[in-house]
Structure 1
Amino acid sequence: MFEYFLVFLGAAIPWLEIALVIPLGIISGLSPVWVILTAFIGNMLTVLVVIVGFQKVKEWMESRNRKKGKAESKRTERGKRIWNKYGMPGVALLGPIVIGTHIAAFIGLLFGANKTNATVWMSISIALWSLVFGIATALGFDLFTRNF
């Protein structure tokens, strides 16, 4: 049970997320179904926190940048390029493998997606990538262990 809590916690932490936690959980011998489900819930809950708390963070960032006279960061510029090309579906679907789910949700909201749209697309993306990472790891690990 403690191992699944670690999967949950790892998936909730930005930069660890599902792309790393799911394969590690499955390779360590945990049930692929429970690892995928636990990681999805852990990642989705913290993404929801980002979506719900977005407005406060945006106001803080804008006031901070106005005071310092700062230009946009390279990450923000990269996010804008992705947004202009693909919109919220693209940012959400590319997020877990390019910039991380938390940053993808934040960028989508920053560039104008509403909270409902961001929540729906991030849910789809996290579910899809959880399945992809889980199934690929389970099948690959099973194939590897059978042949050696």
Structure 2
Amino acid sequence: MDLLNVIWAYVLVFILSAIPFFEALVVVPLAILGGLHPLLVTVIAVIGNLLTVYLVIVFIEKIKSWRKKKKKDEDQKESKRSRRAQVIWKKYGLPGLALIGPFFVGSHLTALMSITLGGTKKGVAYWMTISLVAWCIGLAILAYLGFDLLGSGDRGFIIEIFNR
């Protein structure tokens, strides 16, 4: 695989990890199973995901007004995700929601709900950073070790795609 294809593969990791509801938690295991370097994948995916989560935190007021306007047009019924987040918030607070939320509802929605439910921007940024780093490292280790335990030496479907 030539250098340009390697760079392109890591750029895709960055872009895909920044997309809400796809995010680093999905990209990290897939990229590692695809044959990319686990450490590079993890670092790049965390940076991509955190960049957009920080944008949500910074522009929260505009996002809330956009959502309020959108909900006016739609039914005012509370979503299942929102109820689940409120239960977690009441039971575990900001740290609990930030640590549990990305796995169930995604990091962007978790950040939005954390601030909506009363978290500060600084606190949400702090806990979301810890959460995403922990989740990505954990999933990278599981993907790497799990794949090795399967004894599959032919991993690298991403590399094969770029070599065609």
Identify whether the pair has TM-score above 0.5, normalized to the shorter chain.
yes
What residue is the counterpart of 1:18 in the other structure?
24
Give the AA of the match of 2:64: K
Matched, 1:136 2:142: yes
C-alpha spacing 1:141/1:84, structure 2 compared with 1 (3 Å) = same
Describe the SS at the equivalent of 2:150: helix
| 1:19, distance to aligned residue in structure 2 (A) | 2.1
Question: Of 18, 24, 33, which residue of structure 2 is paired with 1:27?
Answer: 33
Distance in 2 (alpha carbons) for counterparts of 1:21 and 1:73 = 26
User: Which residues of 2 match residues 34-113 of structure 1 at below 5 A?
Assistant: 34-63=40-69, 65=71, 70-113=76-119
More helix by share: 1
Structure-1-length-normalised TM-score: 0.90
Give the AA of the match of 1:53: F
Distance in 1 (alpha carbons) for counterparts of 2:71 and 2:106 = 23
Paired positions, count: 148
Give the AA of the match of 1:47: V
| 1:75, distance to aligned residue in structure 2 (A) | 2.3
Deviations 1:109-131 (A, max 9, x none): 00010000000000000000010
| 1:58, distance to aligned residue in structure 2 (A) | 1.5
- Unaligned residue ranges in structure 1 (runs of 5+): none
Describe the SS at the equivalent of 2:82: helix
- Alpha carbon RMSD of aligned pairs, Å? 2.0
What residue is the counterpart of 2:15 in the other structure?
9
Distance in 2 (alpha carbons) for counterparts of 1:109 and 1:29 = 37
Identity %: 41
